[in-house]
Structure 1
Amino acid sequence: MSTAFLLVCALCLDAALGEPGWLWSRIRHPAVMMGNVIGWLDKRLNQGGQRRLKGVAVVLLLVFGALVLGRVLALLGPVVEVALCAILLAQKSLVEHVRDVGEGLRTSLIEGRAKVAMIVSRDTRDMTEAQVARSAIESAAENLSDGVIAPAFWFLVAGLPGLSVYKAINTADSMIGYRTDKYRDFGWAAARLDDVLNLIPARLTCVMIVALSGQWARWPQMVADARRHISPNAGWPEAAMARALNVALAGPRSYDGKVRDLAWVNGDAPRDIGAPEVFRACNMLWRVWGLALGLLSVWVGVSFFL
């Protein structure tokens, strides 16, 4: 079976089942196991001197281990490949988490803050309704790229080994890839490699959103916003999502009690937004998923007749 066909099956399986709680309450999710390994390495190696060198060694170990594990698991057959790929995709769970923020805002601002706190790392206690909505939409755009399109891309390029490497590095970046005193050196290699692995998927996600929203005429402004963004990759899907929904994203936000005056994305668009815009973002998540599925299905069909 072709890798594209397996990916089509995995995308459909993830969309149908998402993250079944009954399963992960009984066994550990692969991402959790990756996180446990990274946490163990962090605890033992992130101390003393030569932290950047130690961080590089951790990344090399993760890449090698993920490659070997992915190759071994792929030998178990296409059913295992499809199941593992579906598990490591996050389409349905992403939509559910973002939609929960919209539903929370419909109930109350306090409930909206509680829901968005589950998907962002910034301070949420004093957020306004617009800030909650913006945070949810930004998370939707960024995680569409690194939780759906990037895993699918690397599975398509290199099968289960490629997907395993991507998830290992992406998990490492989320745990140790911070610009803090503790992780600036130790997490440097994980953060830089994650940037490289997301370089194409982030721009691909942007193009897909633009194609669906018909915002090609505003491409130069999107590029400018993406280049001003704090992240070399997250700004691309955010810039596209902001224009698809006609909302302003990013801007100042608080981390650990300190306000960071970050650049606005599509800053001239409306900033006073709420639950309706969050639900529209969820709709765009499914539209991008549908476009990806459609393109892959055409690829599989054409390959079948060639």
Structure 2
Amino acid sequence: MSLWLLIAMALDAVFGEPEKIWGRVPHPAVLMGRAVGWFDHMLNIGGPARGRGILTCAALVFGAFSLGEALAAMPGPFAEIVVAAILLAQRSLVDHVRAVATGLRQSLDQGRHAVSMIVGRDTAAMDEAAVARAAIESAAENLSDGVTAPALWFLIGGLPGLLVYKIVNTADSMIGYRTPRHEGFGWASAKLDDVMNWVPARLTAFLLWLVAGRPGRWREIATEARLHRSPNAGWPEAAMARALGVALSGPRAYHGRMQDFPWVNADGFREIGAAAVEAACAMLWKAWAAGLCVVIVLAWT
């Protein structure tokens, strides 16, 4: 399995998500989103919804696992390698984050537009530093969700493990919010996503800490990670902030309401822009390379 992952990581790094393909047929992540949306539309119809949300999460997991088993049963490793390469997101993550740096160099409005494609917060009133922070935070969190976690679950459970992780992560991103509509219905998906991302988030933070070459900072990373509203997202975010020497998080607006989140690495630079976003892209590749080295060792031992 390690060798198949090694090949899949290389394919993803080289080709990413070719528009010529995914402009014609729906990406598997899109299909997963449609499945989650169907359950949300059909079962989240008012009243106590936690039970129906648990059934939804179980059905999604069962369907993803069964599909993974069927694909893994095909002769040869082709299906496993191709599906893994498609569901890894290193190249596309870097491309989307770098687009923010490119946009900021053109104009603030272009930067705001580019970052609006990768974050859920309000972007219309962001200044340059806020745009850069949002892009870097998204880079750190999605390195864990889109690269480390899929790779780890593929190593642990092959295609079934990978597809289960991706459907749970997709469900969490769509219905795992504490809103009146989804607090009950998305509870199971959000909790399972927390469990499945516990190790990957900390592993991602470790890789970022390792390639940053700043020994002695791990305790600070761990302390600040625990201040984050998410049990997992704070780890890669805190590690990225320390690696770049910048302050992340802080106040931001969601749906027109300003929320006062604590600063991560509060003593770091706050007046940042395109250069810091580019530096974050470089860190994404360094952490990816460190992970690739681990997979190479596993493949040849």
| TM-score for both structures, normalised by structure 2 | 0.98
1:114 maps onto 2:113 in alignment:
yes
Specify the alignment match of 2:293 in structure 1: 294
Q: How does 1:38-53 map to 2 (within 5 A)?
A: 38-53=36-51
- What letter corresponds to residue 28 of structure 2 in structure 1? P
Which runs of no fewer than 5 residues in structure 1 stay unpaired? none
How far off its partner does 1:27 sit? 1.4
Q: Aligned partners of 2:24, 2:38: CA distance in 1, in Å? A: 22
Deviations 1:241-288 (A, max 9, x none): 000000000000000000000011001111110000000000010111
Deviations 1:12-58 (A, max 9, x none): 00011100111112211111111111101100111132300000000
Q: How does 1:62-101 map to 2 (within 5 A)?
A: 62-76=60-74, 77-101=76-100
Q: How does 1:188-207 map to 2 (within 5 A)?
A: 188-207=187-206
How far off its partner does 1:148 sit? 0.2
Q: How does 1:175-186 map to 2 (within 5 A)?
A: 175-186=174-185
Which runs of no fewer than 5 residues in structure 2 stay unpaired? none
Q: Aligned partners of 1:48, 1:230: CA distance in 2, in Å? A: 27
TM superposition outliers: structure 1 runs of 4+ over 3 Å: none
Deviations 1:161-214 (A, max 9, x none): 000000000000010001111100000110010000000000000001111112
Specify the alignment match of 1:233 in structure 2: 232
* 1:217 match: secondary structure: coil
Q: Aligned partners of 1:291, 1:218: CA distance in 2, in Å? A: 18
Specify the alignment match of 1:254 in structure 2: 253
Specify the alignment match of 2:124 in structure 1: 125
* 1:254 match: secondary structure: strand
How far off its partner does 1:95 sit? 0.1
Matched-pair identity in %: 57
Specify the alignment match of 2:35 in structure 1: 37
Deviations 1:81-123 (A, max 9, x none): 1000000000000000000000000111110000000000000
Q: How does 1:207-226 map to 2 (within 5 A)?
A: 207-226=206-225
Q: Aligned partners of 2:106, 2:191: CA distance in 1, in Å? A: 40
Q: Aligned partners of 2:298, 2:79: CA distance in 1, in Å? A: 22
Q: Aligned partners of 1:10, 1:203: CA distance in 2, in Å? A: 23
CA root-mean-square deviation = 0.7
- Equivalent residues, number: 300
1:6 maps onto 2:9 in alignment:
no
How far off its partner does 1:216 sit? 3.0
- What letter corresponds to residue 61 of structure 2 in structure 1? V
| TM-score for both structures, normalised by structure 1 | 0.97
